[in-house]
Structure 1
């Protein structure tokens, strides 16, 4: 059984699914008092909304009415299934002044906290390599699951990506990302082998390697960050960085089709 964690500061008061039986099952399992009969019912009586991953990569389509009403919204990964859709959500949230967050939990690993806090003393990151699964049986595996390893590396480098090139083969994905500050990231997703999330970074003062093992920590920390943003009432989450993860994943798919590097606008 995977590790579990509970977070304080919020109560789930209502649940909706287009398949009512699924919603009722979740209500019983998680002690949610109200099963809504429609999406419109979810717009009332809530302080924030969580939209879970439904395995279609289209769960973002539920977000618009909440954003338009100004209800703080969390969209489970991926943020959208295209760059255009992700940008549209970001623009709508800014226009409506609505708090919005969407991320892989790999942005919040405790194993790489020494890098982001400066404790590891690696200096400015010049190169990074991250690795994780992206099973070929999945639809659009690099976007659906490879984006976890992308998020890990992209959030550590914390610069603007400018070019993406898939230099691997089917089942041996290797995506190179170049950044505005000169840093480079390689994301590797081998199929059919027991690979876990891990990463190596090389900075101007040193290097750091870690395997990610505590999923309860990174997922609960991500949700705590969302609650903290809601309580503060300010857009503290970097939406552009989240959109860039989608950019990188979609550009990698284009690079596979063309066999060439893809420049990002």
Structure 2
């Protein structure tokens, strides 16, 4: 049995979903606000055995709702007698602040998207992990969606070599939620972006990605959007899709993390994660400057 700690974010969507997939729902906690993930397929052989929150009461509620054995009294307790640690998004854009202790202990670590709100802060976390020899994983779950997997399988036959693309995400917050659309593009087209332009406005971003080989992609992150998806144009045709099965992609994301716990090999290189953060953060800079901005580099 893979034993995991969950640190922070227990009261937010991802933390609830992860707990439902790994532990199931406690009695009376498959409805209302705790219905998140209740119908998703369970993962056997791994379990959240400890939960910690800065506010202990939140951890106690989570432990009951997601059948967690122990409410830890400290981060140090969360690092004891476990095989890995989950740090879900807590909507603060600073959840990575809990990571250093676990990196020091070399515990395989999942840090929810975004790894950090800036490239510089994200690079600090990655540098700590590399220096310590600690495997870390930080991704959007969208790269593990059924639609992305199926598209990658048939892409050569239906689309061919991709030269242009269009990707969308709702919410309007570029680093916090636009990362889903950017990671969708990165999974399919890579991260070899040299500059970005932002022709939108706050909460309605229209971002052009300029790749070093001449390809172009547009990312729209807007309160007006309702779906995460993309359209890809290639030498043989085009294809459009949007992601729909959250139970599938969150479960698949967790399966990749569990495999990393076993092998200590990240499913996504930290350098790729840094590049994705860099693209998002540079797009915010481009909105402020009104001109094309080059990426910081990794």
TM-score normalised per structure 2: 0.82
Higher alpha-carbon deviation: 20-29 or 231-240? 231-240
Unmatched segments (≥5 aa) in structure 1 = 136-140
- Please point out which of 204, 209, 212 is paired with 1:180: 212
Q: Secondary structure, in 3 states, of the residue corresponding to 1:174?
A: strand
Within 5 A, what are the aligned runs for 1:210-225? 210-225=241-256
Give yes or no for contact 1:165–1:252 (8 Å, CA) kept in 2. yes
| RCO higher in structure (CA 8 A, sep ≥6) | 1
CA distance in 2, matches of 1:145, 1:261: 21
Cα offset for 1:194?
5.3
**Number of paired residues?**
259
CA distance in 2, matches of 1:20, 1:131: 37
Cα offset for 1:237?
2.1
- Please point out which of 112, 117, 137 is paired with 1:81: 117
- Please point out which of 198, 212, 215 is paired with 2:229: 198
Q: Does residue 1:160 correspond to 2:192, yes or no? A: yes
Q: Does residue 1:232 correspond to 2:227, yes or no? A: no
Aligned to 2:83: 47
Cα offset for 1:118?
4.1
Aligned to 1:100: 136
CA distance in 2, matches of 1:57, 1:142: 12
Q: Deviations over 1:98-122 (max 9, x none)?
A: 1100011111111122332345522
CA distance in 2, matches of 1:178, 1:119: 21
Higher alpha-carbon deviation: 42-51 or 207-216? 207-216
CA distance in 2, matches of 1:171, 1:92: 33
CA distance in 1, matches of 2:160, 2:188: 12
Q: Deviations over 1:102-146 (max 9, x none)?
A: 0111111111223323455222321111111024xxxxx111111
Aligned to 1:16: 52
Cα offset for 1:28?
0.4
* Backbone CA RMSD of aligned residues: 1.7
Unmatched segments (≥5 aa) in structure 2 = 1-34
Distance of aligned partners of 1:237 and 1:172 in 2 relative to their CA distance in 1, 3 Å threshold: closer
CA distance in 2, matches of 1:217, 1:86: 27
Cα offset for 1:20?
0.1
Q: Deviations over 1:64-89 (max 9, x none)?
A: 11111110000111111211111111
Give yes or no for contact 2:197–2:209 (8 Å, CA) kept in 1. yes
Q: Deviations over 1:176-209 (max 9, x none)?
A: 1112333222111232x35211210112333211
Higher alpha-carbon deviation: 167-176 or 96-105? 167-176
Aligned to 1:115: 151
Q: Secondary structure, in 3 states, of the residue corresponding to 2:218?
A: strand
Q: Secondary structure, in 3 states, of the residue corresponding to 1:176?
A: strand
